[in-house]
Amino acid sequence: MLNFTSATGPLNGRRNNQGFEGVSLSPDGSRLFVLLQSAAVQDANVAANDQLAKHTRLLIYDVSSNPTPNDPIAEYALTLPTYTLNGGGGDDIFIIDGSSLALGTTIDGGTGSNSVNISANSGTITDTELLASLTNVQSIDFTATNVNASLSLSGSQISAISGSASNTLTLLTNAGDTLNITDPGTNYTQATVGNTTNYTIYDDASHTNVIAHLAWVA
C-alpha cells in the first residue's frame, strides 16, 4: 500500500521528498516504529497538491524474525502539531521555515509594520501556504538560499495577507521566484522603478475602489 521509492514522485505513501521523520526500536528490539514526516499522498488532496493536511501515519513493523519486513503490522493516524505566532503592537519580524508553514503554523502580525522571512532551504513556497498562514503581514522575504516563491494572488488575497487594502504587501524576491496576479489585467496598474514593480489593484475595470497594493522587489 505504501510506496517509498524515490525514483519518481509517488502516487501513494510518503509525499515527494518527505519520508521518515523518526525511526525507533522498541526496548526488546522486536518492533520498529516509523513516523512519516507529513501526510501520506492518499491522505491528502493530491489534485490540489495539498501540503496542509493535518494528519500523518505512525507505522509499526515486526522485526523480531525479519529485519526488513514488507508490510507494517499496524498503522495509526497522528495529528501533526500546529502553532500560532502573534505579534504585538509594534513592528515584528518572524523567521519561519517552509515545513512549519506546510504543517499549518499561523502568524498574525498584529498592528505595526510586520515582516516574515522564509528561512534557507525551505524549498518552494506557494500562495496556498501563505494564505492559510499569514495575516497582518506587510513584507515577506524569499531571498534566502534554496527558497522559491510560486505565487498566484488576487487583490482580495493580497489585502487579506497585508491586513488592509490601504497596506502595501512587499515581496522580496530573486531569480526563480514567480508571481501571477489573478485579477483581470484591466483591473490593475503596474509601474516598475529600478528593481521594484508596484501594483495597484482595483475592484473593477473602471478603477472605482482600490482593493490592494503590492510591491514586487526582484
Closest residue by Cα to residue 102 from 82, 88, 72, 79: 82
Range of the domain at 43: 20-79
**pLDDT tens track for 61-89:** 999 999 999 999 999 988 877 788 999 88
Question: pLDDT category, 213, cuts 50, 70, 90?
Answer: very high
Mean pLDDT for 50-58 is: 69
Asked if 75 and 92 sit in the same domain, the reply is no
Residue 189's pLDDT is what?
98
Greater model confidence, 125 or 10: 125
Q: How confident is the model at residue 20 (pLDDT cuts 50, 70, 90)?
A: confident
Flag whether 193 is in a domain: yes
Compute the mean pLDDT over every residue in the chain, rounded to the nearest whole number: 88
| Residue 14 within any structural domain of the chain | no
Left, alpha or beta for 176 (phi > 0: left; psi -120 to 50: alpha)? left
CA distance 77 to 37: 12
**In a domain? residue 67:** yes
- Residue 74 phi/psi, 5-degree rounding, is -160, 150
- CA–CA dist 146, 121 (Å, integer): 5
pLDDT tens-digit readout, 143-177: 999 999 999 999 999 999 999 999 999 999 999 99
The mean per-residue pLDDT over the stretch 187-197 comes to 97
Examine the domain organization and report whether 56 and 129 are in the same domain: no
Asked if residue 104 and residue 162 are part of one domain, the reply reads yes
Q: Are residues 51 and 96 in the same domain?
A: no
**Alpha carbon separation from 140 to 63, 91, 164 (Å, rounded):** 47, 14, 16
Residue type, position 56, single letter: T
pLDDT of residue 55: 78
Quick one: pLDDT at residue 49? 47
pLDDT of residue 81: 74
Are residue 91 and residue 185 in the same domain, yes or no?
Answer: yes
Q: In terms of domains, do 199 and 136 share one?
A: yes
Look at residue 212 and tell me if it is in a domain. yes
- Residue 43 counted as domain residue: yes
At 1 the pLDDT is 47
Question: Which is more confident, 18 or 3?
Answer: 18
Count of domains forming the chain: 2
Strand arrangement of the beta sheet that strand 84-86 belongs to: 84-86, 106-108, 134-135
The CA-CA-CA angle for residues 88, 51, 113, to 5°, reads 20
* In the block, residue with C-alpha cell 499561523: 106
| Residue 168 domain flag | yes
